[in-house]
Amino acid sequence: MALIVQKYGGTSVGDADRIKAVAARVAATHKAGNQVVVVVSAMGHSTDELISLAADVSGGRHPREMDMLLTAGERISMALLAMAIRDQGVEAMSLTGSQAGILTDQSHGAAKIRDIRAIRVQEGLDLGRVVIVAGFQGVSPDTKEITTLGRGGSDATAVAMAAFLHADVCEIYTDVDGVYTADPRVVPDARKLDEVSFEEMLELAAAGAGVLMMRSVEFGRRFNIPLHVRSSFHDGEGTWVKEKTMESAAVTGVAHDTTEVKVTVQDVPDRPGVAAALFEPLSDAGINVDMIVQNTSQDGHTDISFTVPHSDAGEALAVARGAAETLGAGGVDLDEHIAKVSVVGAGMRSHPGIAARMFSVLATADINIAMISTSPIRVSCVVDAAKAEEAVRLLHAAFDPPFDPMEESR
């Protein structure tokens, strides 16, 4: 008897028929003699709808109440799915994140899972039931408040639950057939990868490949839980995300991210301690800075640009203005129309020239690069948001991932 954790995303439980289809799959897995824990997302776009409803009601920031609101989305789908599974003749019970013992820190909207006390989950399994857990949510034992894990957080719930329960497999059911060499909505001829390493998937997720939330990949890697990303619409094999893979292509995939903005602090005095004076208060404010570029110094002054998530733009701007004033810098500028395009591949380590080729592909298309950052297995460029999809398509065509440098020289 295997213990299987299955996670179903929003589209997969998007309406009554989809919920019934998921129930049939879950019931079949249970009837085949497995123990099943199901993690569900909110139906369809309901999280987005709740966010815009809140914005219509209030212009203020209400982190606690936002979490109370958004966790309702997953409560709806978990209860409906439990009903549909029971109709299939299988005992099922739904649990909120808090009932399932998902303990987090106190950070509303971006809470991190600290521990799982899945006593009620285990009880349900021992009684032979399918246990359905609301994704994306937990409770802070310090404040006793309900928290959410950040967008896409049901993936993290599923992988953390699989790690805690020592599950045999963690299946992530979604609306695409697996992890592709680029977002298939942007690159129609992107290819499905049979397998991808945790390391590469982490970089792809960080670069904007929204098919898996980055933190879920971190959990998978830390606890060595192989993830099977697959379609909820058919039974075909998806993509295995795991520790080691057979191939390590120079370019495994191309990703893009349109969720960041660029902040530039102008005319910063070029002296020791300036970067610390700017980035320490940003970090104290809990703002995740992604890329940073410092221009060459002219007359003892320089510009510093950095990118942050769109949702942190207002706060980042306020913090940067404060720091600029203290430092005697010039103005602070916000550019909301940027996108990050990245190429990722573990084989890059042993195959120089990927960055140069990427720059030349963008140059040929007259796409200006505003910022560059690299890791040993990734090259990212910030470009004009309006050119992002074109850039992804051109890079995908140029590198033809999963591109193997050995093949090219044949």
* Binding residues vs ligand ASP (CB under 6 A): 9-10, 41-42, 47, 73, 135-136, 151-155
Binding partner at 47 among Mg ion, ligand ASP, ligand ADP, none, C-beta below 5 to 8 Å by kind: ligand ASP
One character per residue 131-170, x = contact with Mg ion (rule: CB under 5 A): ---------------------x------------------
Nearer to ligand ASP, 10 or 345 (CB): 10
Q: Is 179 in the site for ligand ADP (CB under 6 A)?
A: yes
Indicate the angle between helix axes 46-57 and 63-87, nearest 10 degrees. Answer: 150
Answer yes or no whether residue 152 interacts with ligand ADP by CB under 6 A: yes
Q: Mark 8-27 with x for binding to Mg ion (rule: CB under 5 A) and - for no binding.
A: -x------------------
Side by side, the strands of the sheet bearing 3-8 are: 92-95, 130-134, 35-40, 3-8, 169-174, 227-231, 239-242, 195-197
Q: Residue 198 binds what, of ligand ASP, Mg ion, ligand ADP, none (CB under 5 to 8 Å, by partner type)? A: none
> Based on CB atoms, which residue is closest to ligand ASP, 124 or 150?
150
Contacts to ligand ADP from residues 225-254, by CB under 6 A: 253
For ligand ADP, the closer of residues 209 and 227 by Cβ is 209
In the bound complex, what is the minimum distance in angstroms from residue 180's beta carbon to Mg ion?
14
d(Cα 59, Cα 54) in Å, to the nearest integer? 8
CB of 152 to ligand ADP, least distance (A): 5
Side-chain-side CA neighbours of 84 within 13 Å: the count stands at: 22
Instruction: Decide if 120 contacts 79 (C-beta within 8 A).
Output: no
- How far apart, in whole angstroms, are the C-alpha atoms of residue 267 and residue 301? 5
Asked if 73 interacts with Mg ion (CB under 5 A), we say no
Q: Pick from 266, 334, 335: which is nearest to 298 by CA?
A: 266
Which pair of structure tokens corresponds to residue 320?
A: 């940067």
Question: 3-state SS of the chain: helix, strand, coil percent to 5?
Answer: 40, 25, 35
Q: Does 330 interact with ligand ADP (rule: CB under 6 A)?
A: no
Q: How far is the CB of 178 from ligand ASP (least distance, A)?
A: 17
In the complex with ligand ASP, the residue whose CB is nearer, 227 or 394, is 227
Scanning 156-164, 174-182, 273-281, 367-375 for contacts with ligand ADP by CB under 6 A, the matching segment is 174-182
**∠ CA 173-235-135, rounded to 5°:** 15
Q: Rule CB under 6 A: which of 191-210 touch ligand ADP?
A: 209-210
176 lines the binding site for ligand ADP (CB under 6 A):
yes
- 73 part of the interface to ligand ADP, by CB under 6 A: no
Residue 405 to residue 283: CA distance in whole angstroms: 40
Q: How far is the CB of 188 from ligand ASP (least distance, A)?
A: 25
Peptide bond into 402 cis (omega under 30): yes
In degrees, rounded to 5, the angle at the alpha carbon of residue 184 between the alpha carbons of residues 174 and 371 is 110
Q: Which of 273, 263, 336, 337 is nearest to 303 (CA)?
A: 263
Residue (228 or 378) nearer to ligand ASP, CB? 228
Residues 6+ apart with CB under 8 A from 323: 265, 277, 278, 281, 329
208 binds Mg ion (CB under 5 A): no
Quickly count: other Cβ atoms within 10 Å of residue 50's Cβ. 17
**Binding-site ranges for ligand ADP (CB under 6 A):** 9-12, 41, 152, 174-176, 179-180, 182-185, 209-211, 253
